[in-house]
């Protein structure tokens, strides 16, 4: 389940850019909670780390016209999609950059940094957060979401149960979706990077895979393009692949509730402040 920087710069980034409507929808409830919690912070200049196709940046820019928002991501295709989506807004811009190396200036130094599941892919997390702290203004706030342990995320484990062989164990120290699942590890990373007042909120949310009149087919198409089912399918062939995809389709049918196909997911919302 490893997804590193090079994959986001290539195929993974291209797929997520093409599927941004579905991926944004899958995180709907989590995005709502993140936006609610932005009200706890006072800010004028925002940095969206690993902004993807721009959903969070655009929501903040639309709701706060006196705020300027900069979104950074390593994927050219995601930045292209975000820029197109935000072309009508004068207070948001998107930059192709690695947040671990991004440098601000007086005009862009953020007083609030935010990320929706965009921080788990740093090759050297303490160094990345140290760079972000250096670029941020004094007393800047930080808030990001990340997945909790894979065992708490049926969106992933239910697909894993359908595989012909059990997936390999996750390396919690390697870049990937669950790299920030452990609270102690995250606390250590942030503390080493120059952040303090670290707090965690556990958020459970339905990860939406399909909706509408053909929710099951919509969800099946989603699973075939994004996530662990897509990765597994790409590695299978012939009848084994057909059987696997049939099981994925049945999974979608089982989780169809009144025109919405969703599976439980579990995240942390982590908050911190730049150390003085």
pLDDT score recorded for residue 1: 43
Mean pLDDT of 221-250: 89
Domain map (residue ranges) of the chain: 5-148+171-206+264-274
Length of the chain: 276
pLDDT digits (tens, 9 = 90+) for 143-192: 999 999 999 999 989 988 887 777 778 787 889 899 999 999 999 999 99
Answer left, alpha or beta for residue 198, where phi above 0 means left and psi between -120 and 50 means alpha: beta
**Residue in this structure with the two tokens 């390593």, named with its chain if needed:** 74
Q: What percent of the chain has pLDDT over 90?
A: 79
Task: Provide the CA 233 distance to its chain's centre, in angstroms.
Answer: 22
Dihedral of the alpha carbons of 85, 51, 37, 198, in degrees to the nearest 10: -170
The tokens describing 110, both together, are 């953020």
The tokens describing 248, both together, are 């994925």
pLDDT score recorded for residue 7: 66
CATH topology of domain 5-148+171-206+264-274: Rossmann fold (3.40.50)
Task: Give SS3 for 18.
Answer: helix
Per-residue b/e over 107-138, b at no fewer than 16 CB within 10 Å? Answer: eebbbbbbbbbbbbbbeebeebbbbbbebbbe
Checking if the pLDDT of 134 tops 60, the result is: yes
Helices (H), the chain: 5-9, 11-18, 20-26, 28-37, 55-63, 76-85, 125-135, 154-160, 183-192, 215-225, 228-235, 238-254
Report how far residue 123's alpha carbon sits from residue 189's, in angstroms, rounded to the nearest whole number: 12
Checking if the pLDDT of 70 tops 70, the result is: yes
Dihedral of the alpha carbons of 68, 105, 145, 160, in degrees to the nearest 10: 120
The tokens describing 127, both together, are 């160094």
Checking if the pLDDT of 128 tops 70, the result is: yes
Checking if the pLDDT of 101 tops 50, the result is: yes
Mean pLDDT of 121-136: 96
Spatial contact of 79 and 52, defined as CB atoms under 8 Å apart: no
State the average pLDDT for the chain.
Answer: 92
- pLDDT band for 132, please (50, 70, 90 cuts): very high
Checking if the pLDDT of 89 tops 80, the result is: yes
Report how far residue 191's alpha carbon sits from residue 201's, in angstroms, rounded to the nearest whole number: 18
Report how far residue 266's alpha carbon sits from residue 27's, in angstroms, rounded to the nearest whole number: 11
Q: Is the pTM of this model over 0.85?
A: yes
Spatial contact of 122 and 100, defined as CB atoms under 8 Å apart: yes
């Amino acid at each position: 389940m490893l997804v590193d920087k090079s994959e986001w710069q290539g195929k993974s980034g291209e797929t997520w850019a093409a599927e941004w409507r579905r991926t944004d929808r899958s995180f709907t409830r989590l995005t709502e909670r993140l936006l609610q919690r932005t009200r706890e912070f006072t800010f004028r200049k925002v940095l969206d780390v690993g902004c993807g196709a721009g959903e969070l940046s655009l929501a903040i820019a639309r709701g706060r016209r006196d705020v300027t928002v900069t979104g950074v991501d390593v994927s050219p295709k995601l930045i292209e999609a975000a820029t197109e989506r935000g072309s009508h807004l004068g207070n948001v811009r998107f930059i192709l950059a690695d947040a671990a190396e991004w440098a601000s200036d007086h005009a862009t130094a953020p007083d609030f940094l935010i990320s929706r599941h965009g921080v788990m892919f740093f090759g050297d997390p303490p160094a990345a957060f140290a760079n972000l702290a250096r670029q941020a203004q004094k007393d800047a706030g930080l808030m990001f979401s990340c997945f909790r342990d894979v065992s708490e995320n049926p969106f992933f484990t239910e697909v894993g149960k359908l595989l012909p062989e059990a997936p390999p164990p996750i390396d919690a120290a390697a870049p990937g979706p669950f790299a920030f699942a452990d609270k102690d590890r995250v606390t250590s990373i942030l503390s080493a990077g120059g952040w303090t007042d670290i707090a965690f909120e556990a958020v459970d949310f339905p990860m939406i895979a399909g909706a509408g009149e053909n929710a099951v087919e919509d969800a099946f198409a989603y699973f075939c393009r994004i996530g662990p089912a897509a990765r597994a399918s790409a590695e299978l062939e012939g009848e084994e692949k057909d059987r696997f995809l049939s099981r994925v389709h049945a999974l979608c049918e089982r989780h169809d509730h009144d025109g919405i196909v969703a599976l439980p997911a579990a995240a942390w919302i982590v908050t911190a402040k730049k150390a003085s």
